[in-house]
Amino acid sequence: MRLDTLNFQARLGLSGFLITVILGALSAATLIGLLYSSQTSGFNIPDINKVKAKYSDPMLVGSMKSSMYEYVAEDGDIDIIAQWIKDGAKDDEYFKEEVMYIIEEDCQKCHSRNSTMSKAITSIPFSSHEDLMKYVEGGYSWTHMAKTAHIHLFGMSVFLVIVSLAFAFSSYIGSIKTLLIGLGWLGLWGDIASWWLAKYSDVFAYVISASGAVEIGSVIAMSGLCLLNMWFKLPAAVLEKNSD
């Protein structure tokens, strides 16, 4: 069975799914670009420093560099917090006099058990050394990472296997099908694996960006090519010899 031999109703239903996958992939790319850039609209290339801040830096430092940056009084505050964590995040006089001063000025307006600010996060207080120690681990915590990774893996694999199978039954030559199907799965695995590895080396922040681009690109390519195969007559050069 080939895609181009399906009846009209089957092609219509599968086309609806594939178009939705393409729109979802483009939406995901747009969201990622907005989250990891300084822009508020349009399609943007992620800023690798923001990717590093999320996956490599301690959560406290990463937040100060990205989502909480507008509340940071001076860039030097981030460097002081980062250096304190690098030096062991000790509960000493330096912590009490320097680190907690910055936390009080930049963070405690919202991150306090008794805050009344409209955007207050009272469930994540920064009132003591014990409070801060929950957010000094490089990258996301293992618990958070495991929770996010398994949801992402299960969710992505569901539609990726459907798109892969649809493309496998297309009329294109085997090398094209093998390449795009393989890239889709390798992109997914490389993306998730690098979330964990970026905790130990920010080099993997680049792998996250590259794998994500490969994953999204292959899904869009497979879906688009399936649509072309179902509805249009294609050049013989891209088709298997036994496909009629």
pLDDT tens readout for residues 171-190: 999 999 999 999 999 999 99
Which residues face 58 on adjacent strands? 138, 139
For residue 152, pLDDT over 90 is answered with yes
Which range is least confidently modeled, 62-66, 102-106, 205-209? 62-66
Q: Is the pLDDT of residue 243 over 70?
A: no
What is the value of pTM for the model shown? 0.83
More confident residue, 201 or 223: 223
What pLDDT was estimated at residue 5? 94
Backbone angles phi, psi at 47, to 5 degrees: -80, 120
Contact of 202 with 56, CB cutoff 8 Å: yes
pLDDT beyond 90 at 202: no
Structure tokens at 234: 């294609």
pLDDT score of 65: 87
* Residue with more model confidence, 194 or 70: 194
Q: Decide if pLDDT at 212 tops 90.
A: yes
- Do 215 and 184 touch, CB atoms closer than 8 A? yes
Q: What is the mean pLDDT of the chain?
A: 92
**CB neighbours of residue 26 within 10 Å:** 13
